[in-house]
């Protein structure tokens, strides 16, 4: 299964691909600690924001990501991220 970690900070954007939920969450948490706005995109386009990382980890044993909530603050960060990318 592929997990894509996407982040934005100022004018910068970062993307990292990981094959396991545990390594994707570790990378995402490193970016968050460095001041990035981050989400992890799972198969089928499901997006997991920092408040949902624990749920992603708890579900990684079954290799079936859950559809998780999208907090309002994270949605705003995502909108800024998409504007900077021209989408």
Question: Is a pLDDT exceeding 60 seen at residue 67?
Answer: no
When the pLDDT of each residue in the chain is averaged and rounded to a whole number, the result is 80
Q: How many domains does the chain have?
A: 1
What is the per-residue pLDDT for 56? 86
Question: Is a pLDDT exceeding 90 seen at residue 6?
Answer: yes
Q: Please state the φ and ψ torsions of residue 39, each to the nearest 5 degrees.
A: -145, 160
Question: Is a pLDDT exceeding 60 seen at residue 19?
Answer: yes
Q: Percent of the chain, pLDDT > 90? A: 53
Beta strand segments in the chain, E: 3-9, 12-18, 37-41, 47-48
- Which whole number is the average pLDDT over 40-49? 90
Q: What is the pLDDT of residues 50-66, one digit of tens each?
A: 999 988 888 665 545 44
Parent domain of 12:
3-85
């Amino acid at each position: 299964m592929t997990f894509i970690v996407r982040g934005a900070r100022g004018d910068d954007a970062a993307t990292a691909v990981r094959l396991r939920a545990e390594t994707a969450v570790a990378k995402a948490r490193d970016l968050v600690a460095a001041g990035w706005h981050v989400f992890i995109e799972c198969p089928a386009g499901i997006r997991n924001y920092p408040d949902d990382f624990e749920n992603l980890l708890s579900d990684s044993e079954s290799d079936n990501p859950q559809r998780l909530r999208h907090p309002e603050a994270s949605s705003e960060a995502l909108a800024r991220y998409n504007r900077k990318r021209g989408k």
